[in-house]
Structure 1
């Protein structure tokens, strides 16, 4: 029974991602403490919120360096060691499953200004983690990584089970050769694409994987949004994915894919396409469809292709449309949604005043709708709030409004009409002290559960915390 309880607790803690909640469980008893410590140190980088967190983590890692390693660093003029402390109760390093060299490198850059010294320290820390015992599942490689992994003693035992790889496509041949030699079971691949000097060997890395199901192509962080694409490299990478056509379920890309290739992804469930390239061209067949699609997030997408995909995606549960379409096209999208997406739970889109009555049909037909993110270019709050209060399905209680100036009188009416429904979670931007007072008032009445008026259009963190 004790073993069963541990197994159940482990599964529960695996689903907890809030640091405060996990910390509160540390002092329950030793069994809980053991499991929480393992959970926290599986990916310690995910909890880094500020400089204090970064330095604390760096100091803990450095404390595990051997005497020989510390003496070597001192001989190189590097002295970043804190005062000696008692030996930790746990060997935290052995619990790590995520080896994030990106995060370590960025912390060192902030701590030490001398680039050669950063490289020396990073190498010692890398050797600390590659100890022949710790088995990693996630590996994050920095842009300037210069190491042939397969030549390091004990590395195969540590990295042969890597399932997730995040890497810049401009790393050199030596580093890529090391990755290809060791990492052959990658399931999730995250590639940061450069403007030029991309390593064409990544096509071979992709082909040799056994069960690749998630791939994210991202613009390199050092480049601005909207820039020329390295078409030759991108085309080569696309073709390397044909081998994985049956297994790919998730695709994020900053430009269009070849129709023949993307149409072969018969089990695609998540498609994120936010075009960042200036020389983009859409050559997709307008009849292209993904019958198993569950999540669609697009911007700068041709209307006919978008509508067709929505019409054939009857399993769609999340839809996010960034582009501002014409009134007529906006109506086509709304119609495609309420006629074909009964399972929809999350919707983000622009709504025009003139299409409000058409939008009402989404509320009527999509009874599973739970979260609504409305982007507006007009002052439509009066009609929109009335429609939402009268026709929102029972499950819908999370609202986010962008590009809207919410008027106090309309908001009060909305709250009064909402009375008797599930308390809402509301997010929009306002500087009005009167509106803030009203929000507080209706929260105390139980009509509003939580609210946020420091709106961030790029993040849904406020919502996610209530999922």
Structure 2
């Protein structure tokens, strides 16, 4: 094989998201090793499992200067690093993601003394924030109170930050420090607190040059349906007006003001699938999203869901409808009449919906994956329709809240013979079902399957619909 250009190799490795594949390439030669190490260490925090977390911290500590190590030791902190193994690279310089949330999480698991954790964090911050590093992604832990702008090289290291993740209760000094440095944020992930939210985030949002993606998320330690104060949400949402022509992605746990939402004329992804949504809420005006490609909604009125679908100019590629009750027929009609390019669909089905559902299979010829939630036992009829009318691209199926009769499943596989091998996910404790799956995988009708699917969320949904 001819020698591949380094730039081409880098592009190839950049598209490989399977760490095992990347690890296997480390031993090819020195060039490949160097390039893959750079790739892996661009965002090493992805490998944060318990064992990997300790190894990661060990490698980071190995980079500390002798002065830092002596200082930590003088404070009664003796973190053993494998200094007897000479490190081959300055891994820190490869990092583009600075994830202080993961660093703190790892330290919390290893060290009980909180004051010592603060001391170690200070030394690690000085290690990462230096003249040789340029970060694009910054993740701040909850209640973060470090003034990054006071670290000498912070402006150089953080001036090109494109992604920021933090909670909304950080103090004024910390937030002002971020505002002094960060003007190029394109993606913002905010974890909304129940109280003590910092209104200064409105200024941070307004000063960005080109904001593209917004994630508003409830703090994970609270029940997901608990909102922060509406007045704070209102203030944050109003600050988005400055970026109405650039925002392409919006994830929010509540119904956003229609005037603000309708101003996002270039929106491509709208995710309002949080459990806090109120399904009685209705928008009184049409929302037109001519570029919308992905729509995820939960607890919406039928009227609102249909309204959005009908005004997407036929560009929807993915549609997930959860906890939307009653009158499925109208939603199904809106889908097959307005979504010719649809590739992924998640929705609830009842027996009475099957005839209309068939029209989705007929009209949405690009459909690739179906996720069906139901408590009705009509599998024979459904499988027959899927086998007869599924477009050529459709081969991924997820079924939840079902008790599948083995005879129906066998008939489905027989009818599917000659088509693209399917990937099937569902829940079953039946040993007979397991044997059937293994048999038809051996025959090449099934490519892969998972019969241990967790369906608890869908179970709650189905019970509410009864």
TM-score normalised to structure 2 length: 0.95
For residues 394-426 of structure 1, give each alpha carbon's deviation from its aligned partner in whole angstroms, at most 9, with x where no partner exists: 000000011111111111110000000000000
Match of 1:149 in 2: 148
Match of 2:119 in 1: 120
Match of 2:403 in 1: 405
Deviation of 1:456 (Å): 3.2
Deviation of 1:47 (Å): 2.1
Match of 1:223 in 2: 222
What is the DSSP-based 3-state SS (H/G/I as helix, E as strand, rest coil) of the residue aligned with 1:166? strand
Whether 1:383 aligns to 2:381 is yes
Match of 2:195 in 1: 196
What is the DSSP-based 3-state SS (H/G/I as helix, E as strand, rest coil) of the residue aligned with 2:5? helix
Deviation of 1:28 (Å): 1.2
Whether 1:371 aligns to 2:369 is yes
What is the DSSP-based 3-state SS (H/G/I as helix, E as strand, rest coil) of the residue aligned with 2:323? coil
Deviation of 1:5 (Å): 1.8
Whether 1:15 aligns to 2:15 is yes
- Match runs of 1:313-462 below 5 Å: 313=312, 314-326=314-326, 329-457=327-455
In 1: Cα distance, 2:205 partner to 2:40 partner = 31
Q: Which runs of 5+ in 2 are unaligned?
A: 458-466
Match of 2:463 in 1: none
Whether 1:65 aligns to 2:64 is yes
Are the counterparts in 2 of residues 219 and 276 from structure 1 also a CA contact under 8 Å?
no
Whether 1:32 aligns to 2:8 is no
Are the counterparts in 2 of residues 286 and 304 from structure 1 also a CA contact under 8 Å?
no
Deviation of 1:372 (Å): 0.4
Match of 2:460 in 1: none
Deviation of 1:19 (Å): 0.3
What is the DSSP-based 3-state SS (H/G/I as helix, E as strand, rest coil) of the residue aligned with 1:241? helix
Whether 1:167 aligns to 2:163 is no
Out of 282-291 and 435-444, give the one that drifted further. Answer: 282-291
In 2: Cα distance, 1:456 partner to 1:290 partner = 33
Match of 2:250 in 1: 251
Are the counterparts in 2 of residues 297 and 321 from structure 1 also a CA contact under 8 Å?
yes
What is the DSSP-based 3-state SS (H/G/I as helix, E as strand, rest coil) of the residue aligned with 1:239? helix
Q: Which runs of 5+ in 1 are unaligned?
A: 460-467
Are the counterparts in 2 of residues 258 and 283 from structure 1 also a CA contact under 8 Å?
no
Are the counterparts in 2 of residues 180 and 205 from structure 1 also a CA contact under 8 Å?
yes
Deviation of 1:191 (Å): 0.1
Are the counterparts in 1 of residues 224 and 274 from structure 2 also a CA contact under 8 Å?
no
Count the aligned residue pairs.
456
In 1: Cα distance, 2:284 partner to 2:290 partner = 15
Deviation of 1:27 (Å): 1.1
In 2: Cα distance, 1:35 partner to 1:73 partner = 33
Match of 1:465 in 2: none
Deviation of 1:227 (Å): 1.7
Runs of 4+ in 1 over 4 A off after TM superposition: 278-281
Out of 249-258 and 123-132, give the one that drifted further. Answer: 123-132
In 1: Cα distance, 2:9 partner to 2:305 partner = 44
